[in-house]
Each structure stands twice: as structure tokens, then as C-alpha cells.
Amino acid sequence: MRWLFFAACPLLALLLAAGPATSAIKVDQVGYIAGAVKIAFVVTKSPASAFTLHRVRDGRVVFSGAADAPVDDRDSGDRVQALDFSAVRDTGSFYIDIPGVGTSWPFAIDRDPYARTFYLAMRGFYGQRCGIAVDLGPAFPGFTHAACHVRGAYHVSSGKTGEAPSTRGWHDAGDYGRYVVNSAVASGTLLWAWELFGTRVRRLTLDIPESQNAVPDILDEIKWNLDWMLSMQDRDGGVWHKQTSERFAAFVAPEADATISYIIGTGVEPYKNSCATADLAAAMAVAARAYRPFDRAYSDRVLEAARLAWTWVAAHPSVVFENPGGVATGAYGDRSCSDELLWAAAELWRTTGEALFHQYFLAHYGESLDTIRPAGPQSWSNVGPMALWSYALGRQTDARAAMFIRDRSRAAADAIVERAARSGYRTTMTAADYVWGSNGVAANYGVQLLIANALHPDPRYVATAIENLHYLLGRNAFSLSWLTQVGAHPFRHPHHRPSAADAKDEPWPGLLSGGPNARRQDPVMAKLPDLPPARMYLDEQASYATNEIAINWNAALVFLLAGVLTAR
């Protein structure tokens, strides 16, 4: 396999000989698919006229073109000119030069330019593992930590006392907590990537401890988190909300955090809650399908957990979660769990074909149809689209319900495509999308478009999803790759405790930054002047509202990357 990764590109010396790269030229720093549209952007005070594309290895010009007329990008305030080099079919490493402006960061043109990026983004979950010693190996020497958070206990809010299991799972974000709601959405998104794009990722190794077994590495990695989720289910089927300390840990290495990992509940009977329980039911139902060919016993186990969770949540459909007294870690609170129940019903119906789940879905799906929309994709707090899409992707469906879902998905995707075409940076983002985790929103628009393509194939949907990938990998107002250690100019200071606690200059690799946030939601953002929403970002560790990482954002990026890999 040909890995393309420019953070340590041996050819950078040749590029630097042509002059230092400038952030005025915005490129996807990973690259472009050889047979696809290839566009960069330039932002200058005076309009640029011409540009040349050079091969990195010798500086030779392989293409000359004219810059498009300037277009105003409202979300960033930039006046943007497109540089179209789609005619180039040569493969290799390239850079753009504009007289009087400078050169771009290097990038690849290749048949499969995103394979290495997929590897790193998916392997980012291995770096987030809890309860085991982690070592990223010779490619990233010294990126290690010892087994962590092995001391668990039931919090008084859980309705139980004494020691509790604290095994496996992924650290949720920049903190060391583990949260069922976000874990379920992240795991479910990754399992969907397997279901839709398994032929593209099945043989990709992630260099994890389980790589030598007979199970595809992506499923091995997801199982690490599913196993922790199973430990959060009580005997009656209900699921506790999270396992965290009572306060966020200091910025220390995972193994240096000596706080107890408490299983935390609602603080009042029934102690478990509906959203976490339904989310677990949904994720385990998907897992039962995914693992069936590789581990029948595990498939049976997770399906039984899903059934138990359904029985509990059907009896307790509206128990919501708020942090109980004395707990100040992430809440992941939700005012309604109806969309989570719908997702659970859809996945259980698709897995089992049992009438109970189908009847529930058909009785309630209409309440969530408007969650498939042109603005505002699915998220941990809005899993209604996941319920609807899973149902429509299944084989045994009610024709009328499936038609409504497909039509709604197509109409939303058409509107998203049209909006991206009007955007200066050709992204699907609206001004309202620049929130905490806006890069996750961008990735989830990509997920939405690729699922719309699965329901109603349209090359425009895939092409527009790739536009968002370009945005995340450097073709944005900051000329930053928002994935750690990917590209020649990535962000470097995530709000991420392992990255802050070690002595290394670079952060742990393969982690997606939260990105611009129009709301001033951390103290560091106070120093920013009033800027357009796409400019409200700081590459600073203390800016948790713009520069934290999170497993659900990474999962959406992995799905998007899987969808544009070359089939194997």
C-alpha cells in the first residue's frame, strides 16, 4: 500500500527551495483524487491572475492556469479565488506557485490519496483507549501511556455502592471520561462505515494489538469500546450514563490520573436513563450484524444486551439525565429520548426482523422525518436521522415509510449541494453551523451526503462530501489541516490531556480539532475580536470550545474517509 503523508515529507527541502509556503494559498494538504475535481483557493488583497502547478521532486511545471474571479465568502469574510487544476491526471507530490504570493503547502494527486489519513484517524481511537498500555510504535516513537483508570466504583448517584468494573472503552475527548451516549454514536457511526464500505476498509491494518487475529482491525478497535459499554448495563437492562471522576482531571498523563472512575447515574430511581439505554440498544444491534460473520458468540451477546436494553427503555421511555450533585464532568444531557428509542427500534428491526420493533418504528418515524434537513446534520443529541436512514437502508421495509425517508434525504442532499456551490470555500456549512465541534458538523454533512448517495446514487453527493473533506484537511480560511500530524501545516495544540502532559512538540496523531466556534464558550476566546464565524478559532490548548477533540467527531471523519477510499 502506498502511504502518502507530508508531515515528514523527505521532499520538503525541494519545496522550500521554491520559497516558504504561504497560508494565502489554500489546498487539501493530503491531496486530491486523480480522476476527480481538483480546486485550491487563494486569498489576497489584489486579485491573482495566473498560477502554476509544480512537481515537488524537481520543481517542473506540469500545469498553468488562470485564477477564477474573486468570490466573497460570507462565513469567513475572505475574498476567495478558485484555482482549478482538474485537468491534471499525473500522480505524485505537487505544489502551487502564484507570482507575488508564494507557494502552497505540498499535496498529493493520487488514485487513493486518503488511505494514510484513514489509518491515522481510525488509529486515533487506539490512542484514546482506556485500561490498557498504549504504544503507537516506531512510526510515532514515545507516544505511549501505561494502563489507566483501572480503579472503578459505583457513585452514590448510581443506586449502588462498592467497587465497580473500570475496563476498556475510549476516553471521550480531551478529558478522561467515558460517556455511553457519545460512545454509542461514535461506535454506531464506525459500524455503519463498516457496513457501507467494508470492502474498502476490511484489509486495512491499524497496527493494534489485535491485528494478527481473524477479525478486521476496524471491528477489533470498535469492540474495545463496545466491551466497556456492556459493562455499563445493569442486570435489569438499564444503562448508567457515564464513567468519570467527579471533576475533570488535571492535565496529566492518563496513568497519572489517580482519581476514581465512578459509574454515575441520575441520582434518583431508576438511576439509569432512557437516552443512554436506547443508544446502547441501537449500537449493540448494529454490532450484532457486524460481528456475526467473525464471532457468533459475541454477536449473540451484544444482541441480548440490546434486547434487555429495549425492554428497560420501553418501560422507562422518558428518564433524562442531568449531572447529580457533586459531579461536574460532561453531561451529554438531552431533553427528549424519543429519537434514541426510534434509532434502537430501527436497528433492532433491521437485525432481528421482529414485528415488535417494526411496529414501534412505523408508529413513531413520522415524528422524526423533519430531522433529515438541509441545515443541521445528525449528532449525539439528534439521532433521528440515523434511525430513519438505517430503516431505509434495510431490506425489509414498509414501502411508504422508506419512500418518505428516501425522498426527504434526497431533497436535503440536493439543497446541501446547491448551498456548497454558492459558498466561497465550497463547503456545506452555514453560519449557524460554527458551533462547539463545527468540524464534526462538517464531517457529519459528509456522512449525510454519502448516506443519501447510498439511498439515491448521485455523483454530486459524493463530490460535495469530498469538498468538506478538503475543508477539514487544509482548504479553509486558516490553511490548517485540522487533523493532528496530517498535512504539512496541521494544528498543533489540541485541548487533549495526553498531548499536553507529554514532553513532545507534536500532539498525539489522528485527532480532529473541534474547529471554529462563533460562540465565546471558553475564557481564552475572550481575546478574539468580533470576527466572522469561520474565523473564530484559536490553536491553543486552553481553548476547549474551539480546539478540543472528541470521538464522535473523529468517527464522522472516519466514515467520510472510508466513503472516498478506493475499493479493494
Q: Residues 152, 166: contact at Cβ < 8 Å?
A: yes
Please tell me which residue in 207, 414, 502, 539 is annotated as part of the active site.
539
Grid cell, residue 217, equals: 482491525
Cα gap 79→84, rounded to integer Å: 16
What are 497's three cell numbers? Answer: 490531556
What Å distances lie between residue 259 and 116, 152, 177, CA to CA?
36, 9, 11
54 counts as catalytic? no
pLDDT values of the chain reduced to their tens digit, one per residue, 568 residues:
333 334 344 444 544 455 689 999 999 999 999 999 999 999 999 999 999 999 999 999 999 999 999 999 999 999 999 999 999 999 999 999 999 999 999 999 999 999 999 999 999 999 999 999 999 999 999 999 999 999 999 999 999 999 999 999 999 999 999 999 999 999 999 999 999 999 999 999 999 999 999 999 999 999 999 999 999 999 999 999 999 999 999 999 999 999 999 999 999 999 999 999 999 999 999 999 999 999 999 999 999 999 999 999 999 999 999 999 999 999 999 999 999 999 999 999 999 999 999 999 999 999 999 999 999 999 999 999 999 999 999 988 899 999 999 999 999 999 999 999 999 999 999 999 999 999 999 999 999 999 999 999 999 999 999 999 999 999 999 999 999 999 999 999 999 999 999 989 999 999 999 999 999 999 999 999 999 999 999 999 999 999 999 999 999 999 999 999 997 7
Of 241, 358, 495, 496, catalytic? 495
Residue 81: the pLDDT is 98
Catalytic, 236? Answer: no
> Is 539 among the residues known to form the active site?
yes
Q: How far apart are CA 414 and CA 373, in angstroms?
A: 10
- The strand ranges marked E within 126-208 are 134-135, 144-145, 152-154, 163-164, 178-179
Q: Which amino acid, one-letter code, is at 494?
A: P
Tell me how far CA of residue 352 lies from CA of 261, 356, 387, in angstroms. 35, 10, 15
Give the pairing type, strands 242-244 and 261-264.
antiparallel
pLDDT at 18: 56
Could you give all domains of the chain from N- to C-terminal order, each with its CATH number?
Answer: 12-110 (2.60.40.10), 115-479+547-564 (1.50.10.10)
Give the Cα separation of 530 and 212 in Å (integer): 52
Pairing of the two strands 78-84 and 92-98: unpaired
Full-prediction pTM beyond 0.85?
Answer: yes
- Tell me if residue 548 is catalytic: yes
Catalytic site residue from 172, 175, 217, 340: 175
Model pLDDT, residue 395: 86
